Each structure stands twice: as C-alpha cells, then as structure tokens.
Copies of this chain bind each other. A is one copy, B any other.
Amino acid sequence: MTQQADFVVVLGGDGTFLAAARMFRERPTPILGVNFGALGFLTEVTLDEMEAHIDQALAGELVVHERMMLDGEFVPADGAPVRFSVLNEIVVSKTEEARVIELRIIVDGHSMTSMRGDGLIVCTPTGSTAYNLSAGGPIVLPGQNTIALTPICAHSLSFRPVVLPGAAEIEVDLVSAKKPVLITADGQAVTTFGMGGRLFIRQSPHKVHKLVSAERNYFMTLRDKLGWGRG
C-alpha cells in the first residue's frame, strides 16, 4: 500500500519522522511532518496548519527538499555484519560500565586521529541540530552533502568538530574499552561494539524527501527552536 502513496503524513515529533524516514528510505516518497506539541526541526507543521498543508501537497504546491542519509555497517570480530541507515546521526558511546573509550578514526583510508572520551557523533546536516549541537558541533545547513564528526566529552581539548565531504568513507575502530560500547542510530540502540569490530559509515544512495511550504525557510526554524534573535 505504501508503494502507491503520493506522500506520507507523519503525526508526532521528530523521532516519529526519523522512524518514517528510515521506513521509506528506499522509495522516494515525500514526507510531511506534523507536530503534536512543540515544533521540531523535521516536523514544522502544527495540527492547525495540517489541513491546509495537505491541500497544498495534493495541489503540488509544497516543495520537496532532499536530505542526505548515512549508511552504517558494523562488522564484528565474529558473526554477521549489521547494517542500518540514519537521517540524523550514528553515535558510538560508552555504556554504563565502559568508563572511557578510545576510538581510532580513519577517513578514506587515512588515519585521522584517535580519541579518548565518552564517544563520537557522526551526523548528517539534518542531524547537526540534534545531538551534535548539544555536544558542541556546528549547525550545518541541510541540503549539503557533508558529514560532521563531533566528539562527546573528548579528553583532548584539541579534538574539535570536523566537517567532512559527503563522499568521505569513515571507519571507526575501538582501540580500548573495558566493556563493549554502544552503537546508536537516530537514537535507537543498534548493537554493541567490542574489540576487533569495525564500524563503516558512508553516505547512503537514498535520500529522504521532505515536504516543506515554499514560504518557510530553514532560518525560521532555527530561530524558533534556538531562540535566535530575529534579523
């Protein structure tokens, strides 16, 4: 049935939108996000505005914005690889028992650095305003093909957020941790990550198609959500 849909209306918060984005990632079905409560970065339409937006969507008056996704592949030391896709971010983080973890980051086959700390966020422009922002990462305007890489509570004060080209192939290896660490995809636990496992992250061939009003621009949402001064 979803195969015949012209567009999909998601009712909920940004988390619901993320789940829908993953569900429809292999079919370019436009998604309209309607928020029940406070507006989100992905769900910018209120319940009151929903009907008018659906009319506009049916009339072809809404704009489709393409948003890049990331594909993750975790190859454990033993066992089958685990694959997953995200619209926001992939996070490698300590679990309750693993106090500090050390990761080696390899980009396009070149060793970038190793880091010690609580973890690492690898995010899309869409995800830049989510967990990435809380961890000190930059806001990346969506629509770009870039990947931001932001440490979580790095021990080294010199390891700062890095913006990589969308074509970068990222490998994350676990150098040391007393216990397995956690891989999270758009906020959902995917698997745990032990020594000898390798996590590969690259741009997905699929895009999310987000329906937006032609009158709305991204800066309005930024200002609303972050409380920025109006220009």
Q: Residues of A with Cβ closer than 8 Å to B?
A: 95-97, 99, 104-107, 110-118, 125, 128, 131, 133-141, 143-144, 146, 148, 152-165, 168, 182, 187, 189, 217, 219, 222-223, 226-231
Contacts and interface: CB of A to CB of B under 8 A. Distances in A.
Contacts of A230: 111, 113-114
Output the residue of A143, A160, A168 with the most chain B CB within 10 A. A160
Q: How many copies does the complex hold?
A: 4
A28 to B, nearest CB: 22
A191 to B, nearest CB: 12
B156 A113 contact: no
Contact of A139 (B161, B187, B231): B161
A104 B231 contact: yes
A96 B99 contact: no
Contacts of A165: 141, 143-144
5 contacts: A115-B229, A116-B229, A136-B136, A152-B153, A159-B226
